[in-house]
Amino acid sequence: MPSLETTVHGLKLPNPFIIGSGPPGTNGNVIGKAFDEGWGAVICKTISLDASKVSNVQPRYARLRAKDSREIIGWENIELISDRSFDTWVDELKQVKDKYPDRILIASIMEEYQQEAWVEITERCQTLGVDALELNFSCPHGLPERKMGSAMGENPEIVEEVSGWVNAVAKVPVWAKMTPNVTHIEEPCRAAFRGGCEGVSAINTIRSVLGVNLETLRPEPSVEGYTTPGGYSSRAVMPIALRMVMEIARVIRDEYPGHTLSGIGGIETGHDAAQFILLGADTVQVCTGVMKFGYRIVQLMCQQLLAFMEKHGFETLGDFKGHSVRYFTTHADLVQRQAMARANKKGTPDKKVIQDDAEWRGDDFVDQSDALARG
C-alpha cells in the first residue's frame, strides 16, 4: 500500500503537501484550519521584527481567466509580508505548537540587510518551538529599497552571506526561498547551500503586470488609479516552475547530495505534485491553490497522488523522486538520438509532420503546427 509519509531533515510529515508562505498561513486560526484538514506542514506568512513598515492596500489581487471556461489560470498579487506585530506572532505560534505538537510548523522570516536583525529573528523564532525556518529571499515587490526579498535573492553573494548569518545560530533546519526573477536560478541556490541551508524552496512568484483594463485604461490591480508590478502565480506559472525545479534538482544531485527541494508553482492537484516530485522535489507547497479552492483541497490532492503511486507501483515518494530528471539533455543530443532511431527504422518520419522549414504552407499553417505538438 503506497504511503505519502516523508521525512525531510528529521521532520516527519504525514504527506508532502505544505501550505506555502502567504495568506493561507496568515494567523494562528487559519494555520490550525490547515492542520485540521490534513496538510503535511504549514509555513506561516512571512514575519519580521518590525511590522510597522508594512502597509497593505486594497484591492491587491488581479486574476487572469481562461477565455471560454472563465477558470482562473493566473493570479497577480501586490501583497506585502505580515502586517501583524512580532509579539502577536510569538503568542500565536506558541499556541499553534501547543495545540499541534506533532505537526510541522515552519516560520518564514525576512529582514533588512543587517546581521543583527537576522540573528535576532532567527534566535527568537526557534525558541518558540518552530520546526524549521524559511528565509524569504524572493518576494518580488515591496520594500526593495531596504534590500529585502528578491532584492537579496537576486544577488548570490548576499544570499550566501545572509544564509551564513542565520545558520551560524540556527538549531533547526533552514530553507531558502528562491526568486525566479533571475537568469540562472542555480547560482543563488548554490549560494544558499554554501551558506549552510539544508534546503531551498522554489519558485516564488514571477514579477509581472497582469494586464490593463481596456475600459478605464488603468493597469490592474488598480489602487486609486495606480498600481505597481506584482507577483504572478497560479496554473500559468507551472511550466516555468517545473523547469527551475529540474535545474535545482540537478545541482543537488551533482553537487549537494543530501540537500532538499520544496517545489512551488501552480500546484492544484495530486497530478501536479507528482510532476514536481518526478523532477526532484521532496515536498510541494501550495498557496494560490488554497485561495482558489480552500483548505480541503489537500484531501483530494492526497487521493490523486496515492492513485498515481499505486498505478505505477511506487510505495514511497522516494521511489520516484527525481525519476524524470535523467531525461533532460541538450538539443544536439536530441538531434543525434532521433537520427539514430530513424536509421534503425524505429522512428520513421511521419509524412504529415514537416521535416524542414521549406515545407511550411500558409493555408495549412495551423494544421502543421498541431502535427508538431504533443498534448
Q: Is residue 1 part of a domain?
A: no
One domain for residues 227 and 314: yes
Rounded CA gap, 245 and 272, in Å?
A: 13
Angle in degrees, CA 60, 233, 89, rounded to 5: 60
Please determine, for residue 143, whether its predicted confidence score (pLDDT) is greater than 70.
Answer: no
What is the model's pLDDT at position 144?
64
Q: Is 156 left (phi over 0), alpha (psi -120 to 50) or beta?
A: alpha
| For range 214-241, the mean pLDDT | 97
Rounded CA gap, 328 and 249, in Å?
A: 12
One domain for residues 48 and 149: yes
What is the model's pLDDT at position 92?
97
One domain for residues 366 and 316: no
What sign for the dihedral angle of Cα 357, 359, 365, 368? negative
One domain for residues 295 and 353: no
Q: Is residue 106 part of a domain?
A: yes
One domain for residues 350 and 292: no
Rounded CA gap, 187 and 185, in Å?
A: 5
Q: Tell me the CATH number at 280.
A: 3.20.20.70
What is the model's pLDDT at position 337?
95
Whole-prediction pTM: 0.96
Question: Using 50, 70 and 90 to split pLDDT, how confident is the model at 119?
Answer: very high
Query: Which tens digits make up the pLDDT trace of 257-283?
Result: 999 999 999 999 999 999 999 999 999
One domain for residues 77 and 153: yes
Split into its structural domains, the chain has a count of: 2
Average pLDDT of the chain, as a whole number: 95
One domain for residues 228 and 339: no
Q: Is residue 156 part of a domain?
A: yes
One domain for residues 125 and 251: yes
36: number of Cβ within 10 Å:
13
One domain for residues 277 and 355: no
Query: Which tens digits make up the pLDDT trace of 280-297?
Result: 999 999 999 999 999 999
What is the model's pLDDT at position 314?
98
Counting residues of the chain whose pLDDT is more than 90, the rounded percentage is 91
Q: Is residue 14 part of a domain?
A: yes
One domain for residues 360 and 271: no
- C-beta of residue 94 within 8 angstroms of C-beta of residue 129: yes
One domain for residues 311 and 350: no
Q: What SS3 state is found at 167?
A: helix
Backbone angles phi, psi at 282, to 5 degrees: -85, -35
Closest CA to 287 of 263, 271, 321: 263
Rounded CA gap, 42 and 60, in Å?
A: 23
What is the model's pLDDT at position 313?
98
Out of 44, 125, 139, 189, the active site residue is 139
Q: Is residue 83 part of a domain?
A: yes
Query: Which tens digits make up the pLDDT trace of 43-82?
Result: 999 999 999 989 999 999 999 999 999 999 999 999 999 9
Query: Which tens digits make up the pLDDT trace of 147-186?
Result: 788 999 999 999 999 999 999 999 999 999 999 999 999 9
Residue span of the structural domain in which 345 resides: 331-371
Q: Is residue 337 part of a domain?
A: yes
Q: Is residue 246 part of a domain?
A: yes
Counting residues of the chain whose pLDDT is more than 70, the rounded percentage is 98
Q: Is residue 65 part of a domain?
A: yes
What is the model's pLDDT at position 171?
98
Query: Which tens digits make up the pLDDT trace of 311-359?
Result: 999 999 999 999 999 999 999 999 999 999 988 876 667 777 998 999 9
One domain for residues 146 and 87: yes
Grid coordinates 515552519 are at which residue? 106
> Annotated catalytic, 302?
no
What is the model's pLDDT at position 237?
98
